[in-house]
């Protein structure tokens, strides 16, 4: 303990706790979940007003621990869980404004409660071993599964291997207060101080705290120092001809970040399903003899630190995590995703699974999703995969050729028009790429979060739900990044639907193969046509993949007979109204002058060429 340099308040908690465990390995931490090797199933609960309230069941399986929560609500992240309890600048709800009393009252009660508990302290590096910041988790011993999850997500530190450890961030876990103070809701309170970011997690789902809470710390540090941790996956894509391209894919939760790292999904006969007509059932396929090799870089958090940036005008990034919180709702049967199935089934060290079926001492299978209380399958099954287990994973910073943005799209027809009018891939001028990151639509039927909003925004860069500071500061950082990295190109890719066609994530996989074979967005302007809706940038006149042309109906949805120009234009109005509503919050004096120019261009109904005049597209 003498190696830690804690704030006085935490030192007092540690001193008064009945016992404190600082595990020297993740294997030790895993065994703490069950208390002893003879136990294969535990219930995690807390006494509240004289009654034991169960939070979760945890089962020991052959390949790890399987966690299932007692409430459906706890099985995915609540997007309205963040509260800010300090006086520093913020656009997020302040604790006292929401609950009507100062956080110091709840904070004091939290610290007193923690001091009565047997505790686990987990030291780690927020942001990874090489680029991260010292941090520590303070967790009740009976919630060791949560501590183990954190140790898998971030870079676990054996305290005996360091001489001194001063946390830049502290996560306190106190589950009972979800019921006693917050009406059963997921609440995560952030308190920022000089040199210290505290997170109080009042629930046991790791999404808003162990996962996104650490993300908040990195965003807060970046806002102070002038850099961004992007909400993105990234991969080095190597074509069958050994050409290379680095692609970065951003978007709200469910926007296709994990799918960038997956192989192209094939039918039993080897063909690739492009899309299925939702009215007639007609299915469109293409054949691909050889597909690209994927070398994963990041899955969700991409640190874009200035020290990485080369002089060639491309954005550079590195992974901000040591493990990936992989959603496996798309794995519905054996063979759906051989990579993650193989890793999880044949793992040489225990993993942790969420919202999946667990039978003691059996193997947890990624396609056996837990059932919600209504009997339907939980839409948010997860597994944490340490990145070192992933084949061909890239361990050094990479330079980005193509930066894509993914959006979940609903079906769209003339009879039932919607905003699902985005073609298979659009080329975006940098100014429009910035606007899409400001509005960051959460999109259709999002499986990762609890929300009923038909078209909601996750805001700047799609990481705004995790940021604690000012929205306009993050908008300026993103714009500065885009302006400084003029050699990186931008595309927009839909998933789930293109007009009337159900596509899943096929557009992303096909666009990835197409761009890699071309060496990125490497094409002449005469191959592009302005999209009918200007905020969609340019559409491709044609797309040829592995010798086959895709139907223009997938590239320009207004050509679909059952959608047509009238249905398309109605969808365009929905999108434009959404952009107008979301962009209004950035109209402040603090916004960068070029940003104000871009937003004014949108308000004036600017064409795609107008956006290119503000920030050039860079194509001839």
Domain boundaries, the chain: 8-21+78-226, 229-315+400-614
pLDDT at 454 over 80: no
Q: According to the model, what pLDDT value does residue 451 have? A: 47
Judge whether 134 and 125 are in contact, CB under 8 Å.
Answer: yes
Residues contacting residue 197 through CB under 8 Å, at least 6 positions apart:
168, 169, 170, 190, 191, 216, 217, 220, 221
User: In the structure encoding, which two tokens stand for residue 34, read together?
Assistant: 């069950």
- Neighbour tally for 548: CB within 10 Å: 13
Q: Where does the pLDDT of residue 135 fall: very low under 50, low under 70, confident under 90, or very high at 90 and above?
A: very high
- Neighbour tally for 544: CB within 10 Å: 12
Q: According to the model, what pLDDT value does residue 309 have? A: 87
**3-class secondary-structure state, position 167:** coil
Q: Kindly tell me the burial class for residue 8, based on how many C-beta atoms sit within 10 Å of its own C-beta (0-12, 13-18, 19 or more).
A: exposed
What average pLDDT does this structure show over 41-66? 95
Higher pLDDT among residues 219 and 444, named by residue: 219
Q: According to the model, what pLDDT value does residue 253 have? A: 78
Query: What is the residue-averaged pLDDT of the chain?
Result: 94
Alpha-carbon distance of 600 to 583, in angstroms, equals 10
> What CATH class has 8-21+78-226?
alpha beta
**Over the stretch 549-578, which tens digit does the pLDDT of each residue have?**
999 999 999 999 999 999 999 999 999 999
Residues contacting residue 175 through CB under 8 Å, at least 6 positions apart:
46, 55, 140, 143, 202, 203, 204
Alpha-carbon distance of 509 to 506, in angstroms, equals 5
**Over the stretch 173-184, which tens digit does the pLDDT of each residue have?**
999 999 999 999
DSSP per position, 365-430:
-TT-BPB-TTSSBPS--EEEEEGGGSTT---S-EE-SEEEEEEE-----SSS--S----S-EEE-H
Q: Which range among 45-49, 255-259, 448-452, 482-486 shows the weakest confidence by mean pLDDT?
A: 448-452
User: In the structure encoding, which two tokens stand for residue 65, read together?
Assistant: 């621990």
Residues contacting residue 302 through CB under 8 Å, at least 6 positions apart:
229, 230, 231, 232, 233, 234, 248, 317, 318, 319, 320
Alpha-carbon distance of 97 to 82, in angstroms, equals 13
How many alpha carbons lie under 13 Å from residue 196 in its C-beta half-sphere? 15
What average pLDDT does this structure show over 278-306? 94
Q: According to the model, what pLDDT value does residue 443 have? A: 76
Q: According to the model, what pLDDT value does residue 392 have? A: 95
Q: According to the model, what pLDDT value does residue 185 have? A: 96
Q: According to the model, what pLDDT value does residue 618 have? A: 87
What average pLDDT does this structure show over 162-191? 96
- CATH (residue range 229-315+400-614): 3.90.228.20
What is the sign, positive or negative, of the torsion defined by CA atoms of 82, 85, 90, 94? positive
pLDDT at 364 over 50: yes
Q: Which range among 36-45, 131-140, 204-213, 337-346 shows the weakest confidence by mean pLDDT?
A: 36-45
Q: According to the model, what pLDDT value does residue 351 have? A: 98
Residues contacting residue 485 through CB under 8 Å, at least 6 positions apart:
309, 313, 314, 315, 400
**Over the stretch 583-600, which tens digit does the pLDDT of each residue have?**
999 999 999 999 999 999
Q: What is the pTM of this model?
A: 0.93
Q: According to the model, what pLDDT value does residue 130 have? A: 86
Length of the chain in terms of residues written: 620
**Over the stretch 487-534, which tens digit does the pLDDT of each residue have?**
999 999 999 999 999 999 999 999 999 999 998 998 899 999 999 999
Residues contacting residue 28 through CB under 8 Å, at least 6 positions apart:
none
pLDDT at 449 over 70: no
């Amino acid at each position: 303990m003498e190696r830690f340099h804690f704030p006085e308040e935490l030192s007092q908690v540690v001193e008064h706790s009945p016992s404190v465990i600082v595990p020297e390995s993740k294997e030790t931490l895993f065994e703490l979940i069950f208390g002893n090797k003879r136990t294969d199933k535990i219930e995690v609960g807390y006494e509240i007003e004289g009654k034991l309230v169960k939070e979760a069941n945890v089962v020991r399986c052959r390949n790890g621990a399987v966690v299932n929560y007692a409430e459906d609500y706890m099985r995915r992240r609540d997007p309205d869980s963040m509260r800010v309890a300090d006086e520093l600048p913020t656009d997020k709800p302040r604790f006292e404004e929401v609950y009507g009393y100062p956080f110091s009252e709840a904070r004091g009660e939290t610290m007193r409660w923690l001091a009565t508990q047997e505790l686990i302290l987990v030291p780690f590096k927020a942001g990874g071993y090489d680029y991260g910041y010292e941090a520590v988790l303070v967790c009740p011993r009976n919630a060791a599964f949560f501590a183990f999850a954190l140790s898998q997500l971030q870079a676990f530190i054996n305290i005996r291997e360091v001489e001194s450890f001063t946390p830049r961030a502290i996560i306190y876990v106190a589950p009972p207060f979800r019921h006693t103070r917050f009406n059963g809701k997921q609440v995560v309170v952030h308190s920022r101080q000089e040199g210290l970011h505290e997170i109080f997690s009042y629930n046991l789902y790791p999404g808003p705290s162990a996962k996104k809470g650490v993300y908040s710390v990195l965003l807060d540090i970046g806002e102070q120092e002038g850099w961004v941790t992007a909400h993105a996956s990234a991969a080095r894509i190597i074509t069958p001809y050994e050409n290379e391209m680095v692609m970065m894919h951003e978007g709200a939760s469910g926007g296709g970040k994990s799918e960038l790292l997956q192989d192209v999904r094939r039918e039993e006969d080897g063909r690739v399903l492009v899309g299925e007509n939702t009215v007639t059932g007609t299915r469109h396929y293409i054949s691909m003899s050889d597909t690209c090799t994927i070398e994963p870089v990041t899955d969700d958090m991409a640190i874009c630190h200035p020290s990485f940036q080369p002089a060639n005008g491309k954005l550079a990034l590195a992974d901000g995590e040591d493990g990936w919180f992989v959603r496996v709702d798309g794995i519905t049967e054996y063979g759906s995703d051989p990579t993650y199935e193989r890793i999880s089934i044949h793992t040489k060290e225990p993993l942790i699974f969420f919202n999946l079926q667990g039978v003691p001492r059996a193997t947890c299978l990624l396609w056996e999703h837990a059932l919600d209380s209504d009997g339907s399958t939980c839409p948010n099954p997860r597994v944490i995969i340490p990145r070192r287990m992933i084949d061909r994973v890239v361990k050094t910073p990479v330079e980005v050729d193509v930066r894509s943005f993914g959006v979940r799209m609903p079906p769209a027809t003339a009879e039932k028009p919607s905003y699902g009018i985005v073609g298979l891939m659009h080329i975006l001028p940098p100014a429009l790429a910035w606007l899409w990151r400001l509005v960051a639509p959460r999109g259709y039927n999002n499986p990762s979060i609890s929300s009923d909003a038909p078209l909601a925004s996750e805001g700047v860069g799609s990481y705004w739900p995790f940021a604690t500071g000012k929205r306009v500061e993050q908008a300026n950082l993103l714009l500065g990044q885009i302006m400084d990295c003029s050699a990186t190109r931008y595309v927009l890719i839909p998933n789930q639907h293109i007009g009337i066609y159900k596509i899943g994530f096929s557009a992303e996989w096909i666009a990835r193969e197409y761009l890699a074979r071309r060496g990125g967005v490497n094409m002449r302007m005469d191959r592009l046509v302005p999209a009918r809706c200007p905020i969609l940038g340019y559409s491709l006149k044609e797309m040829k993949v592995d010798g086959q042309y895709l139907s223009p109906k997938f590239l320009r949805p207004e050509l679909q007979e059952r959608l047509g120009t009238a249905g398309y234009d109605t969808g365009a109005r929905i999108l434009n109204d959404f952009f107008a509503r979301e962009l209004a919050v950035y109209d402040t004096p603090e916004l960068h002058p070029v940003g104000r120019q871009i937003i004014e261009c949108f308000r004036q109904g600017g064409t795609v060429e107008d956006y290119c005049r503000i920030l050039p597209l860079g194509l001839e």
